[in-house]
Structure 1
Amino acid sequence: MAKDGEKGEWKEYIWNPRTREFLGRTASSWGLILLFYLIFYIFLAGLFALTMYVMLQTLDDHKPTWQDRLSIPGMVIKPNADEAFEIVYNTQDTESWDMFAQALDKFLSPYNDSVQAQKNYECTPDQYFEQEDSGDVKNNPKRSCQFNRTVLEDCSGIHDRYYGYRDGKPCIIIKLNRVIGMLPGKDGQPPFVTCGPKKEDTDKIGELAYFPPNGTFNLMYYPYYGKKAQVNYSQPLVAVKFLNITANQDVNIECKINANNIPAGNERDKFAGRVSFKLRINTKN
């Protein structure tokens, strides 16, 4: 009997036909509480939307409101065979070095003279190409300077489509990471790249050739205004050709950026403004 009574109480709690209550509430009570929560969540959604709208009004689509002021830009080399930054191949094995040539072809294709002439502007060398806004009027899109792959001469892939890899005189391409607003160099002195061996490999590196001459990044490619503001921006490049590096041995190389307003590095980030990699050219089967 007790079980039947408990069962009856549960049924009556779910639906009480005498008071017409469902789960202890009448239809009007349920309607009022649902209306309250509907209005409450609409208010929260509206408050969130208003907050997001106000925040978005403070943002610039073309330039980040806040950004880290990087005093030392990072460096990248091409081709980068893997994360270990090792370029190892055998001059007698075409397949071992052809992938490097193909990677450089793909990387340099946007720098073809015809492509650059179509997209970019012939700037005045050796001076910053500044394009400031006029008050609230945005000077967008901003123009970008041409960087033609022919500037890389022996490392352009035009005269030697193997980039020296077949002859044991390989080329590497270096670029600086983009930093919005950075003006590297002052008093008309452009930043430049130097490469050299690590201490243990001092006598293995041999002669180097830089393209453009002296491994410079011309000032006309700076400042950079951001991906949206400067859609066609072409990063300047420096090519380094190893003319008589010691064969059949590992050679550890470090390249770094030099400028009269870029710090040489610090203890917190020893790899800022420089890149290290291993180069090994095998000539024996």
Structure 2
Amino acid sequence: MAKDGEKGEWKEFIWNPRTREFLGRTASSWGLILLFYLIFYIFLAGLFAITMYVMLQTLDDHKPTWQDRLSTPGMVIKPTADETFEIVYNVKHTESWDSYAQALDKFLSPYNDSIQAQKNHECTPDQYFRQEDSGDVKNNPKRSCQFNRTILEDCSGIHDRYYGYQEGKPCIIIKMNRVIGMLPGKDGQAPYVTCGAKREDSDKIGQLAYFPPNGTFNLMYYPYYGKKAQVNYSQPLVAIKFLNITTNEDVNIECKINANNIPDGSERDKFAGRVSFRLRINFNNN
């Protein structure tokens, strides 16, 4: 009988026909609770929407409001195999180096002189190309300077479609990572790239040729204003050609950026402003 009583109590709690209560509350009580939560969540949603609207008004579509400025930008080399920092091939085996030449062709195609002439501006060399806004009036889209593929001369792929790989004198391309607003160099002194072998390989690297001359990143390509503000921006490049590097051996190489206002890598990031890679050119039929 006790069980029947408990069962009856549960039924009456769910729906009491005498008091017309559902789960212990009348319809008007449930209505007031639902109305309270409806108003409460509408208020929260409205508060969130107003907060987001006010915050978005402070943002600029073309420039980040806050930026952790890198004191020393990173560097990248092309070509690379499977995102590894090594270039290894056999001169006698075309298939071992043809992918490097194709990768450079693909990378440099946007730098064709005809494309640059259509999209970009002929700038005055050796000075910053500043395009400041006028108060609240945004000077967008901003123009970009031409970086013509022919500047890379022997490493342009125009006169030598194999970029020297077929004769054991390969080219590599270096670019510096984009940093909005960065002015790399002061007093008219442009940043430049130097490459050298690690200490254990210092006698293996041989002669190097730099394109443009002295491995310079011309000042006219700076400052960079961001992807949306400068939609046609072409990053300046430096090419290095290895003229007589030791073959059939690993050569560990480091290239770094040199500028009178860019510090060397810090203790926290020793690879800032530099890139290291392994180069091995084999000359055998195996």
Give the residue type in structure 1 aligned to 2:79. P
User: What displacement does 1:84 show?
Assistant: 3.5
TM-score by length of 1: 0.98
C-alpha distance in structure 2 between counterparts of 1:95 and 1:5, whole Å: 87
Q: Residue in 1 aligned with 2:14? A: 14
The 5 Å alignment of 1:161-200 reads: 161-200=161-200
Local SS of the residue matching 2:165:
coil
User: What displacement does 1:71 show?
Assistant: 1.4
C-alpha distance in structure 1 between counterparts of 2:19 and 2:71, whole Å: 76
User: What displacement does 1:264 show?
Assistant: 2.3
C-alpha distance in structure 1 between counterparts of 2:36 and 2:120, whole Å: 60
Q: Residue in 2 aligned with 1:55? A: 55
Runs of 4+ in structure 1 off by over 6 angstroms are none
Q: Residue in 1 aligned with 2:32? A: 32
Q: Residue in 2 aligned with 1:43? A: 43
C-alpha distance in structure 2 between counterparts of 1:196 and 1:74, whole Å: 17
C-alpha distance in structure 2 between counterparts of 1:4 and 1:265, whole Å: 81
TM-score by length of 2: 0.98
C-alpha distance in structure 1 between counterparts of 2:34 and 2:180, whole Å: 52
Local SS of the residue matching 1:166:
helix
| 1:267 matches 2:267 | yes
- State which drifts further: 114-123 or 246-255: 114-123
1:14-50 Cα shifts (integer Å, max 9, x gaps): 1111111111111111111001000000000110111
C-alpha distance in structure 2 between counterparts of 1:4 and 1:195, whole Å: 91
| 1:208 matches 2:208 | yes
Q: Residue in 2 aligned with 1:23? A: 23
| 1:116 matches 2:116 | yes
1:61-116 Cα shifts (integer Å, max 9, x gaps): 11111111211111000012134401100011111111111111111111111111
Give the residue type in structure 2 aligned to 1:277. F
Local SS of the residue matching 2:13:
helix
C-alpha distance in structure 2 between counterparts of 1:264 and 1:4, whole Å: 84
Local SS of the residue matching 2:39:
helix
Gaps of 5+ in 2: none
C-alpha distance in structure 1 between counterparts of 2:5 and 2:71, whole Å: 80
C-alpha distance in structure 1 between counterparts of 2:265 and 2:23, whole Å: 71
C-alpha distance in structure 1 between counterparts of 2:89 and 2:115, whole Å: 32
Give the residue type in structure 2 aligned to 1:104. L
Aligned residues: 285
| 1:81 matches 2:81 | yes
Gaps of 5+ in 1: none
Give the residue type in structure 2 aligned to 1:272. A
Give the residue type in structure 2 aligned to 1:50. I
1:231-264 Cα shifts (integer Å, max 9, x gaps): 1100000000001100000000000001111112
- State which drifts further: 79-88 or 251-260: 79-88
The 5 Å alignment of 1:98-247 reads: 98-247=98-247
Give the residue type in structure 2 aligned to 1:182. M
Local SS of the residue matching 1:30:
helix
Local SS of the residue matching 2:127:
coil
Give the residue type in structure 1 aligned to 2:65. T
User: What displacement does 1:265 show?
Assistant: 2.5
